[in-house]
Amino acid sequence: MADTDTDFGLRDLLGLRDGTAWLFLLVLEATIVLYMARNFAESPMIPTAAALALLAVAGVLVMVIPVDPLPWPATVFVAASGPVATLLTTDIDHGWSRQVWTAFASSYVLAVLVLRGRLGAAWAGVGGIAAVIAVVGAVAGLKAGVIVGSIVPVSTVTGISLFAAIMRPTQRSLRLLREEATMRAAAEATMAAENSERDRQLARLDKVARPILERIADGVELTPGEREQCRLLEAELRDGLRAPQLVTDELSSAARGARSRGVEVVLLDDGGFAGVPRWVRQQVIDAATRELDAANAGSVTVRVLPVGRRILATVLANGPDEDRRTEIDAAGAVSVST
């Protein structure tokens, strides 16, 4: 199953992650030890212990590395562990090869390698085990039936390979279902965000505009102060449409105060805040607020530039005495020029 066109591996399908994966690893390691322990009765201690350690490490690697398919360095180690362990435990006794127990233990490690998306490497390991057993058996003069019997345990890999082939269509179906679920969740999240923003804007409109709109609807003649309030309110609502990311209580209050003093205020947002840290956005708002609070005449233009520009935002203050330009880059650095 070296098929990399699907992100939904057999490990996901079988639930071999998190706690279940650790339980499976414990069972795999116990199985390796139980089979390999039989070799200690007749085989040399050091090579047999080395073979046991090799297969135990391979069992850990084939389970704990989270990336599917298994990375090639780990794959090569796992695939080679079976033939090497088999070679380390070569011993002939009474016409039967002691390598059969190593072949049993190796077969389970290679079967898991199939589950990790490395079918070809697993079968290369099977071929290596078979070659070692065949060569050793031929040199020792074992009968063909005995040699074949020693190789039979690796048929476990055959069963897992067939299972992987049968389950491949199911994997593709589950992958498609997962992609559809992800897209649906993204669409629902977008819709929820849009609804939340709409509700926020409606609540804001209701808060700031309802009192004056009710007076207009009642036919009451507006006072000069109320007319000025309408002018400021219209400009504030326009800011919410032109520059929604700039509209905060702090900046809106500063803009309202500047407009009441006769300053022309323009807020523009071309989307440059996307992906920018909150503290950098606050730098822009603070710089704009300072200029608006300081302005008593002329104009103040605050603009957030498009995404990808080196300069994130500019604040241009045109006054009777001097013009001042403030630039804030994407890193939050503020520079002022006159």
Going across the sheet that includes 334-337, the strands are 264-269, 299-304, 311-318, 323-329, 334-337
Q: Tell me how far apart the alpha carbons of residues 315 and 292 are, in angstroms, rounded to a whole number.
A: 10
Token representation of residue 258: 């500047």
Q: What is the pLDDT of residues 295-329, one digit of tens each?
A: 999 999 999 999 888 899 999 999 888 899 999 99
Please report, rounded to a whole number, the percentage of residues in the chain having pLDDT higher than 70.
89
How many CA atoms within 13 Å lie on the side-chain side of 36?
29
Amino acid at 93: D
Give the closest residue to 84 by CA, choosing from 48, 120, 112, 113: 48
Q: What is the pLDDT of residues 2-28, one digit of tens each?
A: 333 344 555 665 656 666 778 888 999
Q: Residue with structure tokens 């006794």?
A: 93
Mean pLDDT of 206-219: 77
> Taking all residues of the chain, what is their mean pLDDT, rounded to a whole number?
84
Q: What is the pLDDT of residues 87-101, one digit of tens each?
A: 888 765 544 456 788
Q: What is the pLDDT of residues 94-153, one digit of tens each?
A: 444 567 889 889 999 999 998 888 999 999 999 998 888 888 877 777 677 667 766 776
Amino acid at 153: P
Give the closest residue to 334 by CA, choosing from 291, 269, 292, 280: 280
Give burial (CB, 10 Å; 0-12/13-18/19+) of 254.
Answer: buried
What integer pLDDT is reported at residue 313 of this predicted model?
95
Q: How far is CA 77 from CA 58, 66, 179, 194, in A?
A: 7, 16, 33, 52
- Residue 18 sits at φ, ψ, to 5 deg, of 60, -130
What integer pLDDT is reported at residue 177 of this predicted model?
81
Q: Could you give the residue ranges of the DSSP H alpha helices within 66-154? A: 72-88, 99-115, 119-140, 144-151
What integer pLDDT is reported at residue 34 of this predicted model?
94
End-to-end Cα, the chain, rounded Å:
67
Q: Is the pLDDT of residue 219 over 90?
A: no
Least confident of 26-35, 45-54, 62-71, 133-142: 133-142
**Structure pTM?**
0.55
Instruction: Give 53's pLDDT tier (boundaries 50, 70, 90).
Output: very high
Least confident of 156-160, 170-174, 233-237: 170-174
Q: What is the pLDDT of residues 248-267, one digit of tens each?
A: 889 989 998 999 999 999 99
More confident residue, 198 or 127: 127
Q: Is the pLDDT of residue 83 over 60?
A: yes
Q: What is the pLDDT of residues 226-256, one digit of tens each?
A: 788 888 888 888 888 788 888 888 998 999 8
Amino acid at 136: V
**42-46, long-range: CB within 8 Å, 24+ apart, which pairs?**
42/91, 42/93, 42/98, 43/89, 43/91, 43/98, 44/91
What integer pLDDT is reported at residue 133 of this predicted model?
84
What integer pLDDT is reported at residue 1 of this predicted model?
36
